[in-house]
Chain A
């Protein structure tokens, strides 16, 4: 696989600012399964971005590619303009994975000391432990720590090289509400110093509360990419659904008032903040029939955008 130094918008005037993460046309196949399908992601330095999607949407596969744990089948990946392995060797990237990755027979402090010994440069162990909020359990065996404490230890290990990019894969899985909140408070406080943070989650509210930007994945494809408020605006609108034979997305993309268009066979789904204009256009200018207009909440928008069924029934989703 080749990699290029980033050529996207991140390398602005002067060309000296590489993207923190650059994925171009990345595909990942496991046999016949397409885990990631033609995904482009550009994350600038200092952003806090969320990859949001249900289980099986390709979040972990995408994260693994960014971390160099797996190779894309096709496409290019760069981290700070270099190959992910080079970035990891220099301590530029670290990650908090959702499970595993800890030795039960080491203590908390020993785990951090071990990790620190592997890097050319590292932060002092005491500092890292207190920033992760586990200085008081430094001498505890990892096997005796709770799930939340183990997650904080993974966070401490990730802080060791003082990385420019911190990647978190479903970091709060299995934590209670209070644990989740205080974990994110630590991450947020840490990110204020300019660290780039990329996290994967299937909790919409987590992405909404902690990310400046949300990348929505569904079935291995990027279905939305914007600020949390942009995603919310999408959700605030309505969906116009109609039957229209032979419709194409390209043809309908210019429709007045339409924000996004999806064609599934003879069914057309147009999301819009001005559903009246869309309906008027469809009835006046096309052969569309059986119109149905539904409103949805943000949770429904998420489900509709990322749902597993090929044709989610938007109207009934809200009731369940």
Chain B
């Protein structure tokens, strides 16, 4: 049994590290495929916003009320596309908590995959999930013939909603690295509902009490919600909205990186 050690040098010269820290489309495709296999998440993220749109957007004679370049139904449709995209990207990002629990993040540390490449793939995967509700809510808006606005505004709004949900993909990753999977789903439902109200997605924040309004303007969905409705309303962009969105994006990305480093720290 005791064979003498082969003390010839292995040829290490051809060995190299991967480009882009291991970021690649094969892994990204598998991440997306995995997410699509999670039927329950898919159904909830795709169905909930469109049902809300059909209830709120089409209920109280919204067609004739003029909102900027379009009507009230168009305004509600954009709100609910944003709500759906935020819900989807947050949950998509937070799915990392399951991977952590299964030891996959630790396994990945035995591969060349760099933290930056890994976080990029996770954010992109969450963004793919976020695309679903944006498309579905907008298609519902078209098919029901209730929402009305110029085509280019329609398109620009949808793209803004999708890109804006990037902020919440980062938020989801942060939460996913912070909490164990059994707590993530319930907590996120609560947080996202509160943030949606504070951001004015369901009712205009002008209808909230004065003190709540003052606080609401500092919450992460407020600036985003104002920005994505700006093309429809055509009343210009307040710079504080952009500051709100960019600041929260920086906070969430920073927090996600901080928790990721903490989680994978080489102790």
Which residues on A are within 8 Å of B, measured CB to CB? 10, 12, 16-18, 30, 44-47, 67-71, 80, 86, 88-95, 97, 99-106, 110, 113-115, 117-121, 157, 164, 194, 209, 212, 227-229
Contacts and interface: CB of A to CB of B under 8 A. Distances in A.
Q: Please classify the interface of chain A as helix (H, G, I), strand (E, B), loop, or mixed, using the class held by over half of its residues.
A: loop
Contacts of B103: 97, 99-102
A90 B17 contact: yes
A91 B27 contact: no
B2 A229 contact: yes
A118 B9 CA distance: 26
B191 interface: no
B5 A102 contact: no
Given A90-B16, A106-B30, A69 B109 contact: yes
B60 interface: no
B112 A89 contact: yes
B102 interface: yes
8 contacts: A30-B267, A69-B110, A88-B112, A99-B103, A101-B102, A117-B30, A118-B112, A228-B1
Interface of B: 1-3, 5-10, 12, 14-19, 22, 24, 26-27, 30, 33-34, 37-38, 99, 102-104, 106-113, 266-267
B24 A46 contact: no
Nearest to A111: B30
A94 B6 contact: no
Contacts of A44: 5, 7
Contacts of B24: 117-118
A81 to B, nearest CB: 9
A114 B34 CA distance: 11
A8 to B, nearest CB: 13
B104 A101 contact: yes
Given A101-B102, A105-B34, A212-B1, 4 more contacts: A97-B106, A101-B107, A105-B37, A118-B22
Contacts of B104: 100-103
